[in-house]
Structure 1
Amino acid sequence: MDPLTQASMGAAAAAWVCRKPETRHALLLGAIAGAAPDLDVLIRSDLDPLLSLEYHRHFTHALWLAPVIGLIVAALFKALFFWKHWPYHRLALFAVVGAATHGLIDACTSYGTLLYWPISTHRESWDIISIVDPIFTIPLVLLTIIAFAFRRPYFAQVAVGLCLLYLSLGIYQRSQAVGFAQALADSRGHRPEELTVRPSFANIVLWRIVYRFEGRYYVDAVRVMPLSEPQFFHGRSVEVFSENSAAAMIPSSTVLADDVVRFRFFSQGYLYRAPNEPDVVGDLRYAMYPDSIMPLWGIRLDPSKPDAHVSFEHFRDPSQRAFKRLWLMIQGQAVAPLD
C-alpha cells in the first residue's frame, strides 16, 4: 500500500507492545521500520525500465527479512540519536513489530508480494483491499497521530482493531464477488481456466472480474454490498497474450523476449494486447474502471529492435469525468457502457 498507510500501520502495531512512557518512541520506530521495506523503489535503472517493477515488493518484503530490518532500524537509532538510555531490546521490539506488518499488508492487495522469498518466488496477493483505500487509511492515521500527541497507545491499538475489521469485511466482500463471478461464467456456459476478483480503486464495494476461457479473458464488474443484491456492469473480452503469442512475434533468446517474460511474472500472467495499441502488452489486473479493458500500464514492444529493452508506459485517465464515472459505479448508479 502507500507509504503513509505502511508507516501508520507499523506505528500502530508497535503500540501493542509498548508501555505508556514508551509510546512516542514505539510509534516513531514502528513507523520508520514499517515503511522501510519500500526503500526497494531506489532499485531502478534508466536503461532497464522493468528493473524497478522486478524488485519492488521483492526481497525487502520477505517475511524472514522483517526482523532483520527492524534490528537494523533500532541499531541505527540507538547509535545516532539521543535514546542511549533506552534498552536496545525494547527499541528492537518496536521496530521488528513495525517491519513485520509491511509485507502482510501489501499481500492483502492484488499487486503481488514475494512474502516467501527465497524459498518461493510466488507473488502473494489476497485481493481483499485496494492499493489505496482512504476508508482504511484515514482512521488509522488519525488515531495514530492522537496516540502520539497524547502518549496514549490505546488509540493506536484501536486503529489496528478497526483495520482488522475492515480487512475482514474485505474478505467477505470478495467472497460475495467471487460467488457472483462464478455464477456469471456458468450463465455463459464457460468453465474458467482461471478466475480472479479484485477490488477497484479506493474501495471494497466495486470489484473487477477477470476470467480466462478458451484463449480469451472476460472482463466485467460487480458492485456488492451486505444485505443487497449484486449489481452487474457488463464488460468486454480480449484475446490472451500467451507464451505462444509472444514467441510468434518476438525472437527467442533476446532482450525483448526476456522483458516479456519478466513482465508476465510481474503481472501474474494477465497479459493481453491493448485495444487500439497493437504494440502494447497490458497488465489486465488493473484498469481505470473495473469494467474496462484499457490497462493502467503496459510495455511497448518493437520487434524490429529485439536487443533493446521495452518501454514501460502508463495509460491513466486523471480527468474529472473518469472519476465521476467510477464514483457513480461505487454508488450503484447506472453508467453508459464503455466503447
Structure 2
Amino acid sequence: MDSLTHAAIGACIGELTLGKKLGRHALWVGALAQNLPDIDIVAALWLPFSQNLIVHRGITHSFVFGAGLALLLAFILAKWPKTRTVGFTAFLLFFLGQIFLHDLLDTCNAYGTGLWLPFSETRFSWHLLYVADPLFTIWPILAVLALLFVRGTTLQARKGWAILGLLLPLGYLGYANVNKAEVNRGVDASIAKQGLRVQSYFTTPTAFNNWLWYVVAASDSGYHIGYRSVFEKQDATTAFTYYPRNSHLLTEHPDQQEVQALKQFAAGYYTAQQKQDTLLFNVLRFGQVMGWRDTTSSFAFHYYLNPKLDNTLAVQRGRFKGWDSHTVKQLFHRIFKPDEGQEIR
C-alpha cells in the first residue's frame, strides 16, 4: 500500500483513539505511526538492490518486530510529559493496532509481506488491491481533509468523519473480494475449457482499478497470461498468451547470488528474456505495461542482469510509460465493454 493511504488511515485511527487527549496532534501521530514499518527503506542506502527487494516488507513488517516496537514507543511516550496523560496501555494498543494494520494492508497487493519473520520466510500476498487504488484511498483522505479544515465540529462529529474514513475503504475491500471471486470463477472455467495444464495461478488487479484483472497461470516450463474484466459474460473465455520461463538463460550468469535473490522475490513467477545483447529478469507478479492492450508489451518489473544497467526503479520501471487520455479511454472500454471485438485480451 502506498504511504499516502497508510498516512490517511493512520490519521483517522489517531483521531478515534487519541483525539480526545491530543486534539489535532492525534492526526499527525496516527499518520506517522501507520507508516512505521516502512523504516526498512533506509536499507536501500547500503544494500544491493536485489537484496533490498527482499528486505523491504521483511522483518520490519513482521508481527514480532511490530510488537517490540509498539512496546518501546508506548514506554517512551507514556513517560514524556506532553503525552503522559494518554498512558502506557492506551499507547501500546494504539501502536499495536497501527503497525499490525499496516502489515495486513500490505498483504492486499502483489509485493508480498513477511508477517512471521524470523520464524517463517513465507511472504503473504492476497492480490486484492493494486498498490495505489484511488477508490480505496479517496475516503480516508477526504475524512482527514474534513478533520483538518472543517471548523467548529464537535468531538462527536470528528469521530464520525474518522469512522467514515475507515468504514468506506473496509467496504471497498469487501467489494474487491467479491470481484476476485467472480474473476477466479471465470479463470477456472477458461483453463478447463482450453485444456491448459496449470500448476497454480494468481489474479491481481491492473493499474488503479479493481475491475480489470491480470491472470498468470504457471505450467511446467512457462506461464499463460491473460486479462479478465469483472464485466465479462459468465461464459466468456479468457484468452491466454504463453511466455516461456527460459530458466536456462540464468545458469551461466556469473552472480548466482543475485539470481537466487531475484527468484526468491519473484516467488516462483518469473521469466528470463534475452533482448539482443541484454539479459532481463522479469518478475511477473507486477503485471505488464498495458498488457491488456498489447500482449507483447514489457513486464513492469524487468531487471537488467547483463549488462549491469541501473535497476533502482525496477519495481515500477515503465509502469506509466505511454499513458495518456487515449489510453485511459481504451482501458475503460476494455473494462466495461469486454465482449466487443473478436477475442478477449
Please give the TM-score of this superposition, normalised by the length of structure 2: 0.83
Distance 1:71 1:144, change over 3 A: farther
Q: Is the 8 A contact 1:270 1:284 kept in 2?
A: yes
Match of 1:58 in 2: 58
Distance 1:71 1:328, change over 3 A: farther
Distance of 1:46 and 1:332 partners within structure 2: 48
Deviation at 1:257, TM superposition (A): 1.1
Distance of 2:108 and 2:322 partners within structure 1: 25
One-letter amino acid of the structure 2 residue matched with residue 238 of structure 1: Y
Match of 2:241 in 1: 236
Is 2:95 the counterpart of 1:90?
no
Is 2:321 the counterpart of 1:315?
no
Give 3-state SS (helix, strand or coil) of 1:283's partner. strand
Q: Could you give the per-residue CA deviations for residues 311-336 of structure 1, whole angstroms, max 9, x where no partner exists?
A: 45423314315444334323436589
Point out the more displaced range, 193-202 or 155-164.
155-164
Deviation at 1:19, TM superposition (A): 6.4
Q: How does 1:214-293 map to 2 (within 5 A)?
A: 214-225=220-231, 229=234, 234-242=239-247, 245-247=249-251, 249-250=252-253, 254=254, 256-274=255-273, 276=275, 279-285=279-285, 286-291=287-292, 292=295
Match of 1:300 in 2: 304
Q: Is the 8 A contact 1:45 1:52 kept in 2?
A: no
Match of 2:43 in 1: 43
Q: Is the 8 A contact 2:237 2:344 kept in 1?
A: no
Match of 2:212 in 1: 206
| Count of aligned pairs | 328
Residue of 141, 157, 160 corresponding to 1:154: 160
Distance of 1:295 and 1:129 partners within structure 2: 18
Q: Is the 8 A contact 1:103 1:115 kept in 2?
A: yes
Q: Is the 8 A contact 2:231 2:335 kept in 1?
A: no
RMSD: 3.2
Distance of 2:303 and 2:9 partners within structure 1: 33
Q: Could you give the per-residue CA deviations for residues 179-231 of structure 1, whole angstroms, max 9, x where no partner exists?
A: 111111112111311111111111110100110224121111000049x6486
Distance 1:9 1:2, change over 3 A: same
Distance 1:27 1:88, change over 3 A: farther
Match of 1:172 in 2: 178
Deviation at 1:22, TM superposition (A): 4.6
Distance of 2:262 and 2:344 partners within structure 1: 27
Distance of 1:125 and 1:40 partners within structure 2: 18
Distance 1:225 1:140, change over 3 A: farther
Distance 1:72 1:142, change over 3 A: farther
Match of 2:123 in 1: 123
One-letter amino acid of the structure 2 residue matched with residue 190 of structure 1: L
Q: Which runs of 5+ in 1 are unaligned?
A: none
Q: Is the 8 A contact 2:21 2:85 kept in 1?
A: no
One-letter amino acid of the structure 1 residue matched with residue 212 of structure 2: L
Q: Is the 8 A contact 2:136 2:172 kept in 1?
A: yes
Give 3-state SS (helix, strand or coil) of 1:301's partner. strand
One-letter amino acid of the structure 2 residue matched with residue 326 of structure 1: L
Distance of 2:188 and 2:166 partners within structure 1: 33
Give 3-state SS (helix, strand or coil) of 1:12's partner. helix
One-letter amino acid of the structure 1 residue matched with residue 301 of structure 2: W
Match of 1:326 in 2: 331
Give 3-state SS (helix, strand or coil) of 1:115's partner. coil
Deviation at 1:95, TM superposition (A): 2.7
Distance of 2:235 and 2:166 partners within structure 1: 30
Give 3-state SS (helix, strand or coil) of 2:24's partner. helix
Q: Is the 8 A contact 2:221 2:244 kept in 1?
A: yes
Q: Could you give the per-residue CA deviations for residues 258-280 of structure 1, whole angstroms, max 9, x where no partner exists?
A: 11111111121211134746511
Deviation at 1:104, TM superposition (A): 0.3
Distance 1:9 1:127, change over 3 A: same
One-letter amino acid of the structure 2 residue matched with residue 191 of structure 1: R
Distance of 1:209 and 1:143 partners within structure 2: 34
Deviation at 1:85, TM superposition (A): 4.2
Point out the more displaced range, 104-113 or 210-219.
210-219
Distance 1:38 1:216, change over 3 A: same
Distance of 1:80 and 1:20 partners within structure 2: 18
Please give the TM-score of this superposition, normalised by the length of structure 1: 0.84
One-letter amino acid of the structure 2 residue matched with residue 175 of structure 1: A
Distance 1:139 1:336, change over 3 A: farther
Q: Is the 8 A contact 1:11 1:29 kept in 2?
A: yes
> Equivalent pairs: percent with the same residue?
23
